Amino acid sequence: MLVHRAYVQEADLEAWPFTVPAVTDLAEQGLAFTKPITFLVGENGSGKSTVAEALAEAFGLDSYGGKAGTKYASTREKSQLGEMLKLKTSVNGHRMMSGPRKARRGFFLRAETAMNLLSSLSGVPGYWEGSTDEMSHGEGFLTALDAMFTGPGFYVLDEPESALSFTSSLRLVELFTRLGRSGAQVVCATHSPILASTPGATILEFGANGISNVAWEDLLIVDHWRRYLNDPQTYLRHLLD
């Protein structure tokens, strides 16, 4: 483990983003990491992407998205939560955060900037071979993930499933499992019940009551997908009538 806990020392709970229940929980209680792989799951607006971004920024990953230790990072300013978030780390985590730039290992994949990032870094030394512009959206994502998510490091992803098919999502589950066994730490914000099914992962559900540690089979998205696939009309009749 590289990061054991994330916390905020002081926060104005009347100001955004601390008005979001999950972020309120983080500010009041902190967020503990006990397993190498952690999923942040919740509806749009639940705060999962806000927290994922802040974790990446607190560890020193490029707030635009990209790998740790980059000499020329983007000029994008940190988010409000990213500026305030503190991390309690292991010895190895502290060395990565505070040591020489070249010793840092990690990557932040944020959905909203991923395509520009993939296009601009294809073929650049230290990244991946081949042009993602000549690949499908999903193939480009997997090419970048296979090249950049290797070995011990701190890896943060924000909704990577947006580009992935069912089969490609299963490949990402395999990659997460391999990373967890290698000494890496992964935090992934997702809507995907497939990704969240990664064996041995912690699943944190973000909702109206804050953050809850839940089992995969108890996730709201799992319940919705099961019922929808069993009988789509159960949902559609309320929308289309």
Which pLDDT score is estimated for 130? 72
141 assigned to some structural domain: yes
CA distances to 13, 27, 30, 45, 154 from 23, in Å: 9, 6, 9, 11, 21
Domain that holds residue 120: 3-216
Which pLDDT score is estimated for 175? 96
Task: Report the distance separating Cα 40 and Cα 56, nearest Å.
Answer: 14
235 assigned to some structural domain: no
Which pLDDT score is estimated for 121? 73
Query: How many structural domains compose the chain?
Result: 1
123 assigned to some structural domain: yes
Which pLDDT score is estimated for 25? 96
Task: Report the distance separating Cα 23 and Cα 203, nearest Å.
Answer: 16
Tokens representing 204 are: 């944190």
9 assigned to some structural domain: yes
232 assigned to some structural domain: no
40 assigned to some structural domain: yes
221 assigned to some structural domain: no
pLDDT tens per residue, range 103-133: 778 999 987 777 777 777 777 777 777 777 7
Residues of the chain with pLDDT under 70: 69-76, 101
* Lookup result for tokens 């947006």: 162
The answer, as to whether pTM is greater than 0.85, is: yes
Which pLDDT score is estimated for 233? 93
186 assigned to some structural domain: yes
**Tell me, what CATH number does 123's domain have?**
3.40.50
Task: Kindly state the DSSP code that residue 78 receives in the 8-state scheme.
Answer: P
| C-alpha angle 161-164-166 in degrees, rounded to nearest 5 | 100
Which pLDDT score is estimated for 75? 59
